[in-house]
Amino acid sequence: MASAASRRCILRSLHLFFRRPWSVLTGKLDQNYMSSFTSAYAIMNDEHGDPRKVLSGRNITLSAKLKDDEVLVKMLMAPINPADINMIEGTYHIMPKLPAIGGNEGVGEVLEVGPAVKCLSPGDWVIPADPGWGTWRTHAVAPFRELQKIDNKIPVLSAATIAVNPCTAYRMLKDFVHLKPGDAVIQNSANSAVGQNVIQIARQWKIKTINIIRDRPDKDSLVKYLKDLGATHVVTEEFTRLPEMRDLIKTLETPPKLALNGVGGKSATELIRHIGQKGVMVTYGGMAKQPVTIPIGALIFKEVSAVGFWNSKWNAENKNNPAKEKMLEELCEMIKDCKLMPPKSDLLPLTKYQEAVASAMEGYKGQKKVFVMDDNMVLFP
Ligand SMILES: NC(=O)c1ccc[n+]([C@@H]2O[C@H](COP(=O)([O-])OP(=O)(O)OC[C@H]3O[C@@H](n4cnc5c(N)ncnc54)[C@H](OP(=O)(O)O)[C@@H]3O)[C@@H](O)[C@H]2O)c1
């Protein structure tokens, strides 16, 4: 019998399919529709600063006629990720020119293509090829090179959130250490969107995960949720400092070869303490805003190494690498098989951007804030 999670996944997929516009299902498009999209609603900032203060929702003009290489896209969904907030604050490593449209990640549906565009057709779904593209908008006209086609048979929420966190998790599990079935990975912020993807992808590859979370009143339900996703062990930050943690590590065939650090500070130091000889710690985030400290003994005697990973850089350097296509295909297959679920999400219309951004900045509350561009799009039964 199908599990509750897979029943939910099937229902969502069916529902999303039948909710798709008639034009896409039939392949027929109204020849005059272009005139109705000469403007779009976008969430923008003219200056860097507190996103609660510098963002505003406004109508922007789109060119009425597409250039040869351009595509008209109707945005469907776009999440709010920590990097989006940092980009608006002006603290991120790369920043688009101002005035800028918010949002790095999201999915849109192609409505029309210019005559020179051969790789995209109306009805295709696309995600931005580069960071800083500005996904918090209803429509966009853009050169096709700025967009990457994505399978439109996956749920729209999965498509909107595939580019950053699932890809980051996939690359970190693949590119730093050779992991074989039975090997173990240890990670902090295991309940984050990245962490949940690590758990699910590792399960597919038969890799064990030791998952560290911060203590909380509803810890038991979070532990159950992560174990349902495929977590092998879930422990709190406090537990990692107890002798029992060493006992837990001893139950593994070999100590973790890879540690994934999204927090920094003391939490990262604990990760290093629990990886094995020549283990590698990959830092991808710094949610605690504290530097990483590595004990000297770990460097000299355990020969551990500490490196960083940045998904945007990987994408920029691998635009035409078949490995990127392969990764997206593999992730989409996992999604279709209901083996890779998007994080729990709170869906809001773009017009509620102030509430959404303020809430995202208060910290992760177990739900990603995700903008839905079409108010009529009913997503879950
Ligand atoms: N390098 C890359 O390519 C890349 C790619 C994707 C994401 N990231 C980064 O990864 C991090 C997580 O992103 P996400 O989208 O997965 O985040 P998310 O889903 O919003 O989750 C945030 C996580 O951070 C934890 N956290 C928040 N404040 C913390 C603190 N002071 N100390 C310890 N943990 C804290 C939260 O734990 P609680 O539930 O306990 O609050 C939660 O697990 C961000 O820094 C993001 O920029 C980097």
| DSSP secondary structure of 150-181 | E-TTS-HHHHHTSTTHHHHHHHHHHHSS---T
Is the whole-model pTM more than 0.85?
yes
Burial of 93 (0-12, 13-18, 19+ CB in 10 A): exposed
What span, in angstroms and rounded, lies between the C-alpha atoms of 227 and 211?
Answer: 10
Could you tell me if the CB of 181 is within 6 A of ligand 1? no
Ligand 1 geometric centre to CA of 195 (Å): 9
How far is residue 99 CA from its own chain's centroid?
A: 25
Report, at the CATH architecture level, how domain 4-161+345-372 is classified: Alpha-Beta Complex (3.90)
What span, in angstroms and rounded, lies between the C-alpha atoms of 127 and 108?
Answer: 7
- The one catalytic residue in 92, 170, 284, 353 is 92
pLDDT, position 9: 54
Q: Is 92 a catalytic residue?
A: yes
User: Which stretches within 183-321 are classed as H helix?
Assistant: 193-204, 219-229, 243-250, 265-274, 296-300, 311-317
Task: Give, in order, the Cα–Cα distances in Å from 90 to each of 45, 75, 87, 128, 131.
Answer: 11, 25, 5, 21, 14
Could you tell me if the CB of 169 is within 6 A of ligand 1? no
Burial of 99 (0-12, 13-18, 19+ CB in 10 A): middle
Is 165-312 a domain of CATH 3.20.20.70? no
Measured over the CA atoms of residue 211, residue 214, residue 218 and residue 219, the dihedral's sign is: positive
Could you tell me if the CB of 205 is within 6 A of ligand 1? no
- 370's enclosing H/E stretch is strand 368-372
Residue extent(s) of CATH 3.90.180.10 domains in the chain: 4-161+345-372
Ligand 1 geometric centre to CA of 288 (Å): 9
**Eight-state DSSP code of residue 321:** -
Whose C-alpha lies nearest to ligand 1, atom 21?
A: 192
Q: Provide the residue-wise pLDDT of the chain in tens; the chain has 381 residues.
A: 345 455 445 445 433 433 333 233 222 333 333 445 789 999 999 999 999 999 999 999 998 899 999 999 999 999 999 999 999 999 999 899 999 999 999 999 999 999 999 999 999 999 999 999 999 999 999 999 999 999 999 999 999 999 999 999 999 999 999 999 999 999 999 999 999 999 999 999 999 999 999 999 999 999 999 999 999 999 999 999 999 999 999 999 999 999 999 999 999 999 999 999 999 999 999 999 999 999 999 999 999 999 999 999 999 999 889 999 999 999 999 999 999 999 899 999 999 999 999 999 997 677 899 999 976 554 543
Contacting residues for 367 by C-beta, under 8 A, at least 6 apart: 343, 344, 345, 346
Whose C-alpha lies nearest to ligand 1, atom 28?
A: 287
- Asked whether 294 and 306 are in contact (CB, 8 A), the reply is yes
Residue extent(s) of CATH 3.40.50.720 domains in the chain: 165-312
